[in-house]
Structure formats: C-alpha cells, structure tokens
Structure 1
Amino acid sequence: MDNTPSAAVIRSMKKAGVDFVVSVPCVNLKDLILMVDKDPDIIHVPVTREEEGVGVCAGAYMGGKRTVMLMQNSGLGNSINALASLNKLYGIPLLMIMSHRGVEGEPVCAQVPMGELTPHLLKIMNIPYFVPSSKQEAEAIIVEAMATAQEKKSPVAVLLKIGFWRL
C-alpha cells in the first residue's frame, strides 16, 4: 500500500465520497494530481486559475457531484470574489485542499506574504479551515472537512504545510 502523503490525501477524498476534482498546478500537489487523473472513479478537470475552478466545481455540485479543488494557497487571493459571490452567497459546498506555501521551510521568499495571510483571509471570509500535522491526521480531517462543507453549505479549506509533503 502506498504510504505517501499524496496517497493519504486521495484515500481520504475517496472515503469522503469525492467524485469530482478540479486542480491548479502546484509542485507539492503534482503526485496527488497524477493519482486523481488516473482514478477511474473521479472526474478530473485541470484549470488554469482558481476562480475558474470555483465556477467549475459549483456547476459540478449542481449536477450532484462532491467536489474538491486542489490548489496552492496563493490562489486563494485569485478566488476570493468567486468564493464570496458564488459559494458563500448561494450555499455551495466546496472542499479546497491547499498546498500551504510560505510557511516554515519555504525556500521561495515571494510565497511568504500570502502564506502568512492565508489563515487570516479564511477567517475573514468565515471559511472553516483545518491544518493537519500528519498523514494519519490528514486522512481523518479531510473526511471531516468534507462533512463540514456539506453540512454548512460552505467552502472549507484543508491547509497542508510544506512539512506535510515531506513526511
């Protein structure tokens, strides 16, 4: 059995009933994106920008799908308007699994400002978020986060810090 962080994430997504995934390229998510793309039970739609992904996921939800967007946290800034004026306004759940760049261990200084702001932006937008510290914790939290998104009819984020991908 694959015991990588990416495998833990996809296992938990499947436990949560995810059947539709949108992805935006990210170095930390590359293995997970490849796994999603090869999974016959998941529809995978790569997009170029996060706000596009929010709209695609909203349409898939309206069609009965359980949606996840795989993205880097820097894309949160790109998607704030769509999350507020579409998902929050109309009660559309969305699980955002984010590679949380700009935190401890970040080698690229340009990632730090958004990395520090990400939790604050989520709080301001009243978007619940979770920060698991291990693969085992992530597996449980992703299932819980999807349940929260469905129950609250809201976006929910799971922030996976740089260290998570190196476990």
Structure 2
Amino acid sequence: MPNSAITARADAIVAELISAGISVAATLPESWLGAVLDQVDREPSIRHIRVAREDDGAAVCAGAALAAKRSGSRRTRRWVLLSSL
C-alpha cells in the first residue's frame, strides 16, 4: 500500500477518535500500527500514552475516567473506548 494511502487511513482513524471525544489514548507499540500511532502522537487534542502491557492501558484509561476524560485503549487489533459519561 502506498504511503499516501496509509497516511489517509491513519488520519481517518484519528479523526474518528477525535469525533468520539477521546482525549487520552493508551497504546501498545506495534509495527503494523505505526502510522496511526504517529498521527495520534501529533494530534494536540489527544494525550497519547504508550504502555508496555494491555493491563497498563486499562489502568491508564480507568484513571482518565476518574478525571472525567474520555479515553481509548488499543487492545488486540481493536479499540476499547472507556468513558466517564
């Protein structure tokens, strides 16, 4: 897949996170998701926290929910959205 197509897909995913109101994202570093993680890093409205284990991501998102922030964690090829609403 050409770089422009990968970037367009990453932009679309980040746009969906923003439209869902996500302000905190916890992710595991994975090579196949590199373009998306780079776009999340560059997005000023999302606080991106890279974690070493999936349960660390759940803990980060739980803490964000206690602070009334909408958060998402990328877990095993899908996003889990956690909300304080």
- Structure 2 portions without partners, runs of 5+: none
| Identical residues among aligned pairs (%) | 27
Matched residue, 1:15: 19
Indicate the structure with greater helix content: 1
- 2:16 alignment partner AA: S
After TM superposition, the structure 1 = structure 2 runs for residues 17-166 of structure 1, keeping only pairs within 5 Å, are 17-73=21-77, 97=79, 150=83
Residues matched between the structures, number? 80
- Higher RCO (C-alpha 8 Å, min separation 6): 2
What is the Cα deviation at residue 5 of structure 1?
A: 1.6
CA RMSD, aligned part only?
2.4
Deviation for aligned residue 1:72: 3.1
Length-normalised TM-score, structure 2: 0.79
Amino acid at match of 1:97: W
Relative to the length of structure 1, the TM-score reads 0.43
Note the C-alpha offset of 1:28.
2.1
Counterpart-to-counterpart distance in 2, 1:29 and 1:58: 23
Alpha-carbon deviation of 1:20?
0.5
- What amino acid is aligned across from residue 63 of structure 1 in structure 2? A
Q: Which has the greater radius of gyration?
A: 1
Cα-to-partner distance string for 1:69-106 (whole Å, 9 max, x where unaligned): 12334xxxxxxxxxxxxxxxxxxxxxx528xxxxxxxx
